[in-house]
Amino acid sequence: MALNNITLGQYYPADSVVHRLDPRIKIVLLIAVIVAIFLASNLLAFVPIAAFLVIVTRLSKVPVKMMVKGLKPLRLILILTFVLNLFFLQGETPLLNLGFAVIKKEALTMAVHYSLRLILLVLFSSLLTLTTPPITLTDGLERLLSPLRVIHFPAHEMAMMMSIALRFIPTLLEEADKIMKAQTARGADFETGNLIARAKAMVPLLVPLFVSAFRRAGDLAMAMEARCYHGGEGRTRLRVLKCQKRDYIACAVTALLIVCVVLCGKAY
Amino acid sequence: MAEPIIAVDHVSFAYEEDGPLAVRDVSLQVEKGSFHAILGQNGSGKSTLAKLINGLYLPTEGTVTVCGMDTKADENTWEIRRRAGMVFQNPDNQLVATVVREDVAFGLENIGIPTEEMPARIEKALTDVGMLKHADKAPHLLSGGQKQRVAIAGVLAMEPEAIIFDESTAMLDPKGRRDVLKAVQRLNKEQGITVLWITHFMEEAVVCDQVHVMHRGQIVMNGTPREIFSDVERIKPYRLDAPPMARLAAQLRAQGMPLKEGILTVDEMAEEVKRLCK
Amino acid sequence: MQVTLEHVTHTYQPGSPFQSTAIEDVNLTIREGEFLALIGHTGSGKSTLAQHINGLLAPTSGRVLLDGQDIHQKGYDKREVRRKVGLVFQYPEHQLFEETVAKDVAFGPKNLGLPEAEIAERVQEALNKVGLKDKDIAEKSPFELSGGQMRRVAIAGVLAMRPRILVLDEPAAGLDPQSREEMLQLIYGLHQQGATVVMVSHSMDDVARFATRAVVMEHGTIAMDGTPEEIFRHAERLEQMGLDVPSVCKLGIRLREMGLPCPEDIFREEQAMEALLALWKEGKAHGAE
């Protein structure tokens, strides 16, 4: 009951043009933007990308706070990237002598460059997951990958697996909560003790959880078969993805962005 | 007699080759538009029988015919499952999608219904079970009874002729059970959908046309609910219990009160007591 | 030994948009030796209430007292509560995990830090109590047993902690009629041997047969509290709440509606039998006049 309302992924529900974009287009555009980020050969080239990020974020109605939250788990990596680049990259123009090390101008530029690259990568990816429900994302991925069926890539099966996982995560979390409580009622202790003791304490939780997950999987497979599921072949879909005007506009804008980035790189 | 939509003819089934028979020499016919119940304790083979009818299991001996098609023939499998849908016991373990509407669509997608036809069918199915207002909810936020009704809608959208309910109320609370049974009764009466209702709740079997009692893999009694339950002593060895009013009537008769045979419901009992006491 | 809930309110995920209050300002004293039935709809808060009785959930506000002591105050040993109040969840067989039945039943006593000899003794005693005396069963894997047997093992696992109060959340859910009856007789037997029992139940027939007291929950508060006689006298009210009433209760209501002088407090089968026989004999006597 307590876990009934967990949100999956970090989808931020809102009614915006970014939310409404075709998930396939969004995925492709994210890849394009990532390419643009790597094409950016100097700091000036980041300006159009950053501007693009600001505009898209505004359009998406996602609060900046939510975006920044996505960076939090990466704090350490970001700091490390910056510091390591700063101290260990070679350069010619000394900027600051700290005594134990000399910071070079080129190193500072590169440190800023790499950090920016990382930050932008994360922010753009977050933007995709914040504006696309996981199930739609799965859907989009399936359609994008479906041409690969020719080389026996199981695009449909993978998408089906992902969507079933999404459906059952809340159910299994609820179950885990219940089993944990039941074992606590029998005096189990999940909270104290050293690492080994705690790992051992998980057995009474994990065994029943696995047993239950397998039982559910068996039941579900039977229920799916009874409902005529027989793989992706000959299957129609309730939700059909169709590109609309806004999708083409988004593509055009992104293409423009790439051109700008390349030009900025050359101009310097 | 109307044509049988489900015909089970001398069917036996063992889970493993040379293993013990879970179903032994069972014969049974369900006519179009009727409401049959299979009663039995846990392990009596009733769920196995259900899965045999849907073609999820194939008989070791004998034949199962659904809408005139033999379940053993491979080419019939999908058509049989479409025309004789199935709703299972655990409401959590049969919903596939993360949104109710999409779950109802699941079966339609599997049988290749064109996209344009889907919304209307889904809406109708959800309306029929009274779940339309929950169409955009996530299944895990629904109650057990609501989930079961979504599962029924999923089958219903495929426009089946019969639905097999494999203990679909066993895990529900009384209100959920009532709601599901009511929805199913309505489908049977108003749309003529044939129902095979598998249960161990006697009260539920009371509303059926025909009851088959299963015990240790065999059908041991056939008849109308009235015929089955009027003999309280006869069903005891099958680890079943008569509905409360049938039990009470039997006890009163033993005390010399001349109640008529075949009392099953509170209303029938009240009428009969009134007749005797006036 | 008694448990008292004082103004207990429990709110899930307070402060979040999903905040929901499951029980509100509940006052309840569970007295020694009672067989208390906890009745209510799914979502009426009865399971949340049950989890407060052994301290699994802590009240958002209010206090839970075990023999007068606040179990959530600093320094109070929670294990003491777990030992004295046993909680059996719905479908408890889903919590089994050990290789053998005996080991699984021993899990609780082991957590209490008891010596080996006593653990073994308790395991045997608990298995005897739930009717699984057979030595073979103790050495079997719990996953080889039938559903009804698995549930007994799970209950034995709680009984092995020798709780004074036993809280059971729908112990008969999903069982077929015969196993159901056996389960209820088992719990009734435990009560007869002196255990205080709190049983969450949907079956009013069971409540009528076994409970000495019934508490009806609605929207997170206690709507009714009394003996089964007192509760079922308000059968109409229960029906309004969407709850079942024992079928003989319904019969009584129908008969009175028809103008027959049927007494009001009928809720068990034998009472109905007596009343109907009396009605009939009286009718016959009148007819003969």
Share of chain B above pLDDT 70, in %: 99
To test the contact with chain A by mutation, choose from B80, B98, B150 the residue with the greatest count of A C-beta atoms within 10 A, namely B98
Q: How many CA atoms lie less than 13 Å away from B141 in the CB half-sphere?
A: 12
Residue-level pLDDT at A87: 83
Test A171 with B140 for CB contact under 8 angstroms: yes
Radius of gyration of chain B (CA): 20
Q: Which residues of chain C have pLDDT under 50?
A: none
The CATH classification number of B4-224 equals 3.40.50.300
Task: Measure CB to CB from residue A5 to each of C13, C47, C158 and give the nearest one.
Answer: C13
Measuring CA to CA, how many Å separate C255 from each of B30, B256, C31, C251, C263? 37, 20, 36, 6, 10
In chain C, the number of structural domains is 2
Is residue A4 within 8 angstroms of chain C, CB to CB?
A: yes
Residue C131 lies in a domain: yes
What is the token pair recorded at B35? 């409401």
Test A187 with C161 for CB contact under 8 angstroms: yes
What is the token pair recorded at B240? 């079943």
* Among A residues 181-220, those touching chain C with beta carbons less than 8 Å apart: 181-189, 203-204, 207-208, 211-212
| C280 Cα to chain B: minimum distance (Å) | 5
What angle, 0 to 180 degrees and rounded to 10, lies between the N-to-C axes of helices C269-288 and B244-254?
50
Give the residue from chain B lying closest to C91, CA to CA.
Answer: B171
Q: Please answer whether residues A236 and B114 qualify as being in contact, where contact means their C-beta atoms are separated by less than 8 angstroms.
A: yes
Share of chain B above pLDDT 90, in %: 70
Residue-level pLDDT at A155: 87
Grade residue B2 by pLDDT with cuts at 50, 70 and 90. Answer: low
Is residue C243 within 8 angstroms of chain B, CB to CB?
A: yes
Test B140 with A236 for CB contact under 8 angstroms: no
Do C163 and C54 belong together in one domain? Answer: yes
Task: Measure CB to CB from residue A179 to each of C95, C111, C143 and give the nearest one.
Answer: C95
Residue C236 lies in a domain: no
Task: Measure CB to CB from residue B110 to each of A164, A170, A230 and give the nearest one.
Answer: A230
Kindly tell me if the per-residue pLDDT of B1 is higher than 60. Answer: no
> Mean pLDDT lowest for which of A3-7, A45-49, B63-67, B91-95?
A3-7
Do C143 and C279 belong together in one domain? Answer: no
Q: In what order do the strands lie in the sheet with C20-30?
A: C20-30, C3-12, C61-66, C69-70
H or E stretch covering B250? helix B244-254
Do C15 and C58 belong together in one domain? Answer: yes
To test the contact with chain A by mutation, choose from C95, C150, C153 the residue with the greatest count of A C-beta atoms within 10 A, namely C95
| Residue whose entry in the numeric block shows the structure tokens 């915006």 | A16
Q: Give every CB contact of residue B254 below 8 A, 6+ residues apart in sequence.
A: none
Do C157 and C280 belong together in one domain? Answer: no
* Three-class secondary structure assignment of B105-173: HHHHHHCCCCHHHHHHHHHHHHHHCCCHHHCCCCHHHCCHHHHHHHHHHHHHCCCCCEEEEECCCCCCC
To test the contact with chain B by mutation, choose from C247, C270, C271, C284 the residue with the greatest count of B C-beta atoms within 10 A, namely C247
> Which residues of A fall within a CB distance of 8 Å from C79?
187
Q: Please answer whether residues B213 and B221 qualify as being in contact, where contact means their C-beta atoms are separated by less than 8 angstroms.
A: yes
| A187 Cα to chain C: minimum distance (Å) | 5
What is the token pair recorded at B154? 């999923």
> Which residues of B fall within a CB distance of 8 Å from C247?
243-245, 266
Q: How many CA atoms lie less than 13 Å away from B198 in the CB half-sphere?
A: 25
Do C269 and C175 belong together in one domain? Answer: no
| A176 Cα to chain B: minimum distance (Å) | 15
Test A236 with B101 for CB contact under 8 angstroms: no
User: How crowded is residue C225: how many other Cβ atoms within 10 Å of its Cβ?
Assistant: 15
Do C77 and C215 belong together in one domain? Answer: yes
CATH (domain of C25): 3.40.50.300
Q: Please answer whether residues A56 and A249 qualify as being in contact, where contact means their C-beta atoms are separated by less than 8 angstroms.
A: no
Helix and strand counts by DSSP (H, E) for chain C: 12, 10
Do C220 and C257 belong together in one domain? Answer: no
Test B267 with C280 for CB contact under 8 angstroms: no
Do C219 and C251 belong together in one domain? Answer: no
What angle, 0 to 180 degrees and rounded to 10, lies between the N-to-C axes of helices A46-60 and A105-131?
20
> Which residues of A fall within a CB distance of 8 Å from B54?
226
Which among C152, A226, C114, C200 is positioned nearest to B94, based on CA atoms? A226
Distance of CA B155 to the CA centre of its chain: 13
Range of the domain at C269: 246-289
Chain A / chain B CB contacts < 8 angstroms: 97
Which chains have at least 3 CB atom pairs separated by less than 8 Å from chain A?
A: B, C
Q: What three-state secondary structure class fits B20?
A: coil
Is residue C112 within 8 angstroms of chain A, CB to CB?
A: yes
Q: What three-state secondary structure class fits B239?
A: coil
Q: In what order do the strands lie in the sheet with C196-201?
A: C85-88, C165-169, C196-201, C35-40, C213-218, C221-226
Between CA A238 and CA A145 the distance in angstroms is 19
| B108 Cα to chain C: minimum distance (Å) | 31
Q: Which residues pair with C86 in a beta bridge?
A: C166
Task: Measure CB to CB from residue B270 to each of C246, C251, C280 and give the nearest one.
Answer: C251
Test B107 with A237 for CB contact under 8 angstroms: no
Burial string for C15-54 (b: 16+ CB within 10 Å, else e) reads eeeeebbbbbebebebeeebbbbbbbbebbbbbbbbbbbb
To test the contact with chain A by mutation, choose from B47, B89, B96 the residue with the greatest count of A C-beta atoms within 10 A, namely B96
Between CA B236 and CA C77 the distance in angstroms is 50
> Which residues of C fall within a CB distance of 8 Å from B171?
173-174
Residue-level pLDDT at A4: 41
Query: Counting Cβ atoms within 10 Å, is residue B150 exposed (0-12), middle (13-18) or buried (19+)?
Result: buried
Residue-level pLDDT at C23: 93
Q: Which residues pair with C200 in a beta bridge?
A: C38, C169
Q: Please answer whether residues A14 and A132 qualify as being in contact, where contact means their C-beta atoms are separated by less than 8 angstroms.
A: no
What is the token pair recorded at B260? 């008529």
Between CA B79 and CA B84 the distance in angstroms is 8
Q: Which residues pair with C66 in a beta bridge?
A: C3, C69
Do C122 and C257 belong together in one domain? Answer: no
Test A238 with B92 for CB contact under 8 angstroms: no
* Phi and psi angles of residue C227, each rounded to the nearest 5 degrees, phi first: -75, 160
Which chains have at least 3 CB atom pairs separated by less than 8 Å from chain B?
A: A, C
Q: In what order do the strands lie in the sheet with B210-215?
A: B84-87, B162-166, B194-199, B35-39, B210-215, B218-223
Residue-level pLDDT at C28: 95
For the segment B128-138, the average pLDDT, to the nearest whole number, is 93
Q: Which residues pair with B197 in a beta bridge?
A: B37, B165
> Which residues of B fall within a CB distance of 8 Å from C173?
171
Residue-level pLDDT at C246: 87
* Among A residues 157-176, those touching chain B with beta carbons less than 8 Å apart: 163-164, 166-167, 170-171, 174
One digit per residue, pLDDT tens: chain A, 268 residues? 334 444 455 788 888 999 999 999 999 999 999 999 998 888 888 999 999 999 999 999 988 888 888 788 888 888 998 888 888 877 777 777 777 778 888 888 888 988 999 999 999 998 998 898 888 888 898 888 888 888 888 888 888 998 898 889 889 998 999 999 999 999 888 877 788 888 888 999 999 999 999 999 999 999 999 999 988 888 888 888 888 899 999 999 999 999 998 888 787 6
Q: Please answer whether residues B180 and B169 qualify as being in contact, where contact means their C-beta atoms are separated by less than 8 angstroms.
A: yes
**pLDDT tens readout for residues B181-225:** 999 999 999 999 999 999 988 889 988 999 999 999 999 999 999
Test C82 with A185 for CB contact under 8 angstroms: yes
Is residue A223 within 8 angstroms of chain B, CB to CB?
A: yes
Which among A60, A39, A112, A25 is positioned nearest to A260, based on CA atoms? A39
Angle at C207 between CA C202 and CA C209, to 5 degrees: 140
Q: Please answer whether residues B177 and A40 qualify as being in contact, where contact means their C-beta atoms are separated by less than 8 angstroms.
A: no
Radius of gyration of chain C (CA): 21
Q: What three-state secondary structure class fits A20?
A: helix
What is the token pair recorded at A207? 């065994």
H or E stretch covering C10? strand C3-12
Do C100 and C152 belong together in one domain? Answer: yes
